[in-house]
Amino acid sequence: MTHIAVLFTNYGPYHLARLEGLYHYCRQIGWQVSAIELARSDADYAWKANVENLPYPLATICHQSLQTVKLPELIVQVYRELNRLQPDVLAIAGYANPGMLAALSWIVSHRKAAILISATKEDDAARQTWQEWIKRGLLTQYRAALVGGQPQKRYLLRLGMPAERIFTGYNVVGNATFHPDRIRSLPNPVGKPFFLSVNRFVPKKNLLRLLTAYADYCKQAGDEAWHLVLCGDGAQRSEIEQKIKALNLTTQVHLPGFLQLEALLPYYAHAGCLIHASLQEQWGLVVNEAMAAGLPVLLSRTCGCYEDLLIEGINGWGFDPNQADELTQSMLKLTQSDARSMGQASLTHIQKFSPDYFAQGLVGAAQTALCQSPKGAFQAVGGRK
């Protein structure tokens, strides 16, 4: 029986939905599935996930915040867990974290199959030639890859991975959780039509420019203007609050804070549209969630999901995140359009991007990886071939 394991930094609701899809798919083909996380908590993401009574085993390598674990201890724990599990194939989320590199080292030195899971696209950051050279070398140790969509695939192609070894389907959520039939009976938390934005409050999310664009929208829309809900929290909260006051938007803009999934669902149930204005985003899973809830989307063209999830003029519009006036016009256009039919188009389109799509892509990558010849022994941390 083929044993496939999937290593993430830590498992949140997204990851559990994907693994559930993988588990059911693998049962049909007689494969064993294991889930592995580097730590149960991560300072960057405060989500909570119920990991009790899962149909597959979930192994936690470090039972503390990942940021508090010393590197030598992390490497030892990764090796110990993989020695115990002995997977035939390991899907590894990313290649920058030392824990992921330690896992790659174990897999290659034991002549097993490594799959890269990647959401990275070329324009995420300024690229340095020497860094890209290192990535090219690392990629030779992975026999296949699972990526989010077309921009992510193009980046791995540029780094030298053959097209036939790259599969799509990584960036999905549990669509059923957000389906309008499931959530429409939840109470309306605002009581008025509203735009919704769900983000960490950090500069790359572009929330200050969103507020500027929204203020201009309110001036042009007058009494017909929708409200704006900014769900989330973070280092920019005080600056955002000051901006709201300076723009005289305290009545129209709502800040409910960081919300766990169940508390967020009423906002998805009653929003008129999602706005995702990030200056840079590898993918943007909140867009998946909103579309699964039947919402149209206004989406920054720099978001990694833009090419795969947005159909211009059908389920929303894209905009340049550096141009506030373009976002303002998109808001006006949306509120003057048939938002309901656009939301239905979102709901229809997002059905492809499901946990089953993740499972098919990952199993396809695993089958391809198992057919490849193993590479030579590789020590990712202070070692050599």
First CA to last CA distance, the chain? 30
333 and 201 share one domain = yes
Note the pLDDT of residue 75: 93
What's the CA angle centered on 289, arms 283 and 290, to 5 degrees? 105
Say if 273 falls within a structural domain.
Answer: yes
* Percent over 70 (pLDDT), the chain: 95
What's the CA angle centered on 298, arms 292 and 301, to 5 degrees? 110
Say if 379 falls within a structural domain.
Answer: no
pLDDT (tens digit per residue) in 137-181: 999 999 999 999 999 999 999 999 999 999 999 999 999 999 999
Note the pLDDT of residue 382: 35
Q: What's the mean pLDDT in 290-301?
A: 98
* Edge-to-edge strand ranges of the sheet holding 144-147: 58-65, 32-41, 3-8, 89-93, 113-118, 144-147, 166-168
pTM recorded for the entire structure: 0.91
Say if 345 falls within a structural domain.
Answer: yes
Q: How far apart are CA 284 and CA 321, in angstroms?
A: 14
- pLDDT of 244 higher than 90: yes
96 and 219 share one domain = no
pLDDT (tens digit per residue) in 29-85: 999 999 999 987 765 655 677 888 899 999 999 877 777 888 899 999 999 999 999
Say if 166 falls within a structural domain.
Answer: yes
Q: Check if the beta carbon of residue 362 is closer than 8 Å to that of residue 89.
A: no
88 and 51 share one domain = yes
53 and 84 share one domain = yes
In the Cβ-directed half-sphere of 126, how many Cα atoms lie within 13 Å? 1
Structure confidence at residue 384 as a pLDDT band (50, 70, 90): very low
Say if 377 falls within a structural domain.
Answer: no
CATH at residue 17: 3.40.50.2000
Note the pLDDT of residue 376: 47
Note the pLDDT of residue 366: 98
Note the pLDDT of residue 45: 58
Q: What's the mean pLDDT in 259-270?
A: 96
Domain assignment of residue 318, given as a range = 176-350
Structure confidence at residue 126 as a pLDDT band (50, 70, 90): confident
- pLDDT of 326 higher than 50: yes
208 and 90 share one domain = no
Query: Residue 207's closest CA among 270, 276, 260?
Result: 276
204 and 311 share one domain = yes
Q: What's the mean pLDDT in 232-246?
A: 97
Q: Check if the beta carbon of residue 323 is closer than 8 Å to that of residue 302.
A: no
Domains contained in the chain, number: 2
DSSP secondary structure letter of residue 235:
T
Q: What's the mean pLDDT in 335-347?
A: 96
Q: Name the β-bridge partners of 231.
A: 198, 257
Note the pLDDT of residue 47: 60
According to DSSP H, which parts of the chain are helical?
Answer: 13-29, 71-85, 98-109, 129-139, 150-158, 175-178, 180-183, 207-221, 237-246, 261-270, 285-292, 306-309, 324-335, 339-350, 355-370
Six-digit token pair at 276?
Answer: 């995702």
- Cβ burial of 130 (10 Å; 0-12, 13-18, 19+) is exposed
Phi, psi (deg, nearest 5) at residue 35: -110, 140
**How does 177-214 read in b/e, with b if 16+ C-beta sit within 10 Å?**
bbeeeebeeeeebbeeebbbbbbbbeeebbbbbbbbbb
229 and 297 share one domain = yes
121 and 198 share one domain = no
Say if 68 falls within a structural domain.
Answer: yes
93 and 42 share one domain = yes
Say if 194 falls within a structural domain.
Answer: yes
- Cβ burial of 30 (10 Å; 0-12, 13-18, 19+) is exposed
- pLDDT of 115 higher than 50: yes
Q: How far apart are CA 9 and CA 92, in angstroms?
A: 9
Note the pLDDT of residue 42: 64
307 and 183 share one domain = yes
138 and 233 share one domain = no
* Percent over 90 (pLDDT), the chain: 85
140 and 202 share one domain = no
Q: What's the mean pLDDT in 264-277?
A: 98
Say if 201 falls within a structural domain.
Answer: yes
